[in-house]
Amino acid sequence: MKGSVFIASLAALPAFVSAHPNPVPGVPTLWGRRAVKNVDSREGFKLHPQSSEKNAIDKRAANTYAGSAQSEKRQSGNTDGQCGGEFGACADGYCCSGAGWCGNTEEYCAAPGCQFNWGSGCDTLVVPGGPKTSDVERTHVGSIPYGGEGIYACTVPGTFALTFDDGPYHFTGDVLDILDRYNVKATFFMTGNSISKGPIDQAGLPWASIIQRMHSSGHQIASHTWGHQALGSGAAAQGQDPLTTEQRLAQMYNNEIAFNNILGFFPTYMRPPYSDCDDASGCAATMSDLGYHVIYFDFDTEGYLHTTPETIGESKAIFDQQLPQRSPADGAWLNIEHDIHEQVAHTLTEHIIKGAVEAGWKLVTVGECLGDPQENWYRTLGAGST
């Protein structure tokens, strides 16, 4: 990741002054043991204009996280006032925006910006129905490390692991079309209910069929948490409250339930939002206990910073400059992209595939680039799950 480019780009961004911080969490900042800069990386990113799919979302899903430790702090009648640590909670069923105001529309309720300790209506508190996964045995199999320091690089020479974060979204189907056209495989680190897209397993939304298509096409399914909440010590820098252990577990369990509802299994690979999963917060140990391989990256084209037709060429240039720095004969790449951005999906993805293939790289899933057999990539419920 080119830190100087990253910081300079952020410095040029205008202040964001809507009801809550921008809900598109497309920036893979690094926290913890490999931290590079303490910056609030959510500024300056915009949602794709609403579509009929997005309008179909039931924003006021009634099934909220019953275990919230903040339930006693609910304020009656605070539907449009200030909220948060200094002001208290919003009325029951309302949301506390990242900017600290109560409301009940997506500008207030979308994850990850909604302050869910101060608003019971936040999207990240919606719990999917279906069998729970908390009692599933979390056996560690194979040679790939679980939890801990995490994995930053592929190990199989000649492989290029193309990965996408934050979907499924409106452009994900287009990405799948491109991957099919070139007959290459990728890994999708998916959130369950963020950026106002609605729960991925919710009937009437397109996400479940897209995820099923991913799997049937041979792509790897992986977790990026339920609501894209910061899991580790970098939460404050993202404008979020630090998670309790219970809340961190809910971010993983809820996504597992949704994946299981869609596919009949759930992944053993995850990528932490904001690359934030350190020892000090307890996140690294939690991921080990849950049986997750924690995946980072070593090749970032910064497509989340260059989201217009006029600027996406900058990400193409980063790719073109970085790719030749390793040889397929003895090197490998672990890439990160974001399929929630139109230019990444429609322009950058094909550029990456064509360039990598022409240079002799084999585009594969993360599991393949680590030499991990496919039977290790997922878990099933097993007996005793309810």
Banded pLDDT at 39 (limits 50, 70, 90): very low
Strands 159-161 and 333-338: parallel
| 223-271 per-position pLDDT tens digit | 999 999 999 999 999 999 999 999 999 999 999 999 999 999 999 999 9
Residue 384: its pLDDT value, please?
43
Q: How far is CA 241 from the centre of its chain?
A: 18
Active-site annotation holds for 338:
yes
Q: Express each pLDDT in 144-201 by its tens digit.
A: 999 999 999 999 999 999 999 999 999 999 999 999 999 999 999 999 999 999 999 9
How much is the pLDDT for 363? 99
Residue 372: pLDDT over 90: yes
Inform me whether the pLDDT recorded for 54 exceeds 70.
no
Question: Residue 68 above 90 pLDDT?
Answer: no
Distance in angstroms (rounded) separating the CA atoms of residues 178 and 113: 31
> Going from the N-terminus, what domains does the chain have, and what CATH number goes with each?
64-125 (no CATH), 159-379 (3.20.20.370)
What is the DSSP annotation of 135-162? TS-----SSS--STT-B-S--STTEEE-
Which candidate in 165, 166, 201, 278 is catalytic?
A: 165
Q: In which element (H, E) is residue 284 found?
A: helix 283-289
Structure-derived torsion over alpha carbons of residues 327, 328, 330, 335, reported in degrees to the nearest 10: 90
70, 206, 375 from 146: Cα distances, Å: 32, 32, 16
CB neighbourhood size of 209 (10 A): 12
231 three-state secondary structure:
coil
Q: What is the pLDDT of residue 25?
A: 42
Return the pLDDT at 386.
Answer: 42
- Distance (Å, rounded) from C-alpha 13 to C-alpha 29? 16
Residue 385 has pLDDT above 90, yes or no: no
Q: Which pLDDT belongs to residue 309? A: 98
Closest CA to 336 of 327, 326, 325, 344: 344
Determine which helix (DSSP H) or strand (DSSP E) holds 3, and give its type and residue range.
Answer: helix 3-11
What pLDDT was estimated at residue 75?
54
State the DSSP H helix or E strand holding residue 355, giving kind and residue range, or none if neither: helix 349-358
Predicted pLDDT of residue 357: 98
Least reliable range by pLDDT among 32-41, 102-111, 153-162, 224-233: 32-41
pLDDT digits (tens, 9 = 90+) for 279-314: 999 999 999 999 999 999 999 999 999 999 999 999
Lowest-confidence pick of 11-15, 308-312, 377-381: 11-15
Residue-level pLDDT at 199: 99
Give the 3-state secondary structure of residue 253: helix
Q: Residue 76 has what pLDDT? A: 63
Q: Is 165 a catalytic residue?
A: yes
Tokens of 375: 């039977």
| Cα angle for residues 378, 382, 384 (degrees, 5° grid) | 140
Structure tokens at 128: 């999917």
Which is the catalytic residue, given 224, 228, 293, 338? 338
Mean pLDDT of the chain: 85
Lookup: tokens for 292? 């997750």
Residues in the chain: 386
CA 57/CA 195 separation, integer angstroms = 11
Residue 31: per-residue pLDDT: 35
Confidence of residue 382 (pLDDT cuts 50, 70, 90): confident
pLDDT tens, residue by residue, 69-91:
343 444 568 999 999 999 999 99
Structure tokens at 287: 């991921």
Residue 378 has pLDDT above 60, yes or no: yes
Q: Region 126-145: what's the mean pLDDT?
A: 97
Which is it for strands 163-165 and 378-379: parallel, antiparallel or unpaired?
unpaired
At residue 175, what is the residue type? V
